[in-house]
Amino acid sequence: MGRERALATAVMTTLDPKSRAASRGMSDIAIRNLFIIPTIVFLIVFNIFPLLYSLGYSFTDFRASSPAAANFVGLQNYRELLNDPFIWTNFAITAKYVIVSVVGQVIVGFGVALLLNRDIPFKGLITTLLLLPMMLSMAVVGLFWKLLYDPSFGIINYVLGLGRFEWLSNPDVALYAVAITDIWMWSPFVMLLSLAGLSAVPKHLYEAAAIDRAGTLYTFFRITLPLVAPILMIAIIFRTMEAFKTFDLAYIMTSQPTTEVISIRLYKMAFQEWQTGRSCALAYIVLIMVLAITNIYVKYLNKVKER
């Protein structure tokens, strides 16, 4: 089989395959269009068109709950939103959530990856078990964390000996409680990417460092960290983006005003207060922020890919 292929490849180099292929069946260009265009059209119809639709609504006072027609109000929605201190509070809450959960995930995830990057028995099995949380449904597992956090019979208070400490109904703590659950779910993601980065560090660098009697800290900051940094950066940007968009966990676990991240505000504005026009404007503000982060993310993806 292998020899046949090699032979065929050798023959092929003397012939132009494209002209032969073009003479039978569909041309390559027709196939390329047939394979690519439907997907692009599908994504335009179901992602871009709706966004244009909501861009139009963002300049109106439309309310989906009332039969009244939409009135054009120009930039009023945007002006009001950007001057609304409550919206900025939601953004501030989101920023706090992003920082706490991403920093937590990096510390835990990278830390565990460093521990796992040695001769550990059953390493494969342990790694897979540790990755389990990130594969599960945030909404369904988040719901169950309510039982774990329960002040009277939750196991968290019992194990930590905190008595009847309120986690989710305490406005000062609730956001951190949600972030802890997020850290539990997504540290494995950082760990997974860090492990890939760590395993790619050439062993001879460590051997050279050992010969030079370099200290552990020196080796870590001069060899390990710089080489893992690009992949770690991907993990950080991706998690930042996801934490910025977060909805499920905070929505399921608490209903405190202090945990109202921007997605929850948007959801309430659109589907509970039915301020459709205004929510479309807010959606656009969020969208531009997400696209900015996506852009950075893709740049890093391509950078790592080239290596």
* Residues 242, 188: Cα–Cα separation, whole Å: 14
Distance between CA atoms of residues 167 and 258, nearest Å: 13
- Which stretch, 80-88, 95-103, 166-174, 263-271, contacts another protein (CB under 8 A)? 263-271
**Residue 133 C-beta-side C-alpha neighbours within 13 Å:** 20
Tokens of 220: 């870590």
Using CB under 8 A as the binding rule, whether residue 11 contacts another protein is answered as yes
Member of 2, 39, 204, 212 binding another protein (CB under 8 A): 39
- Nearest approach in angstroms of CB 83 to another protein is 21
- According to CB under 8 A, which one of 201, 205, 214, 286 is a site residue for another protein? 286
Give the integer Cα–Cα distance in Å for 134 and 239: 12
Least distance to another protein, CB of residue 4, Å: 8
Which of 172, 185 has the CB closer to another protein? 185
Q: Which residues pair with 60 in a beta bridge?
A: 72
Residue 57 found at the interface with another protein (CB under 8 A): yes
Give the residue among 51, 46, 42 at the shortest CA–CA distance from 287: 51
Least Å from the CB of residue 221 to another protein: 18
Q: Is 241 in the site for another protein (CB under 8 A)?
A: yes
Report 66-105 residues binding another protein (CB under 8 A). Answer: none
Cβ proximity of 54 and 284 under 8 Å: yes
Buried-exposed string 123-154: b where 16+ CB fall within 10 A, e elsewhere = eeeebeebeebbeeebeebbeebbebbbbeeb
The residue (of 173 and 280) whose beta carbon lies closer to another protein is 280
Site for another protein contains 119 (CB under 8 A): yes
Query: Does residue 146 interact with another protein by CB under 8 A?
Result: yes
- Binding another protein by CB under 8 A: which of 82, 103, 140, 208? 140
